């Protein structure tokens, strides 16, 4: 899934999604939940850094 597709599913702009990826924007945990939901994964899997 492309960044633009995830952004669309989350109702974000592509540039906003890029800002999140580059840590240029402070975001809420609910935004991470929406990203995980768009990717069809659990939030815990999105935050797994192992």
CA-only gyration radius of the chain, Å: 10
Structural domain range at position 26: 3-46
Q: What are phi and psi of 18, to 5 degrees?
A: -60, -40
Query: Is the Cβ–Cβ distance between 24 and 14 less than 8 Å?
Result: no
pLDDT digits (tens, 9 = 90+) for 6-44: 888 888 888 888 888 888 887 788 888 999 999 999 999
pLDDT of residue 29: 86
Question: How many domains is the chain built from?
Answer: 1
pLDDT of residue 43: 92
Whole-model pTM: value is 0.73
pLDDT of residue 30: 87
Q: Which of 1, 4, 3, 11 is nearest to 34 (CA)?
A: 11
């Amino acid at each position: 899934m492309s960044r633009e597709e995830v952004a669309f599913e989350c109702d974000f702009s592509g540039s906003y999604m890029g800002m999140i990826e580059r840590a240029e924007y402070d975001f809420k945990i609910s935004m991470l939940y929406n990203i995980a939901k768009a990717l069809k994964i659990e939030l815990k899997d999105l935050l797994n850094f192992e």
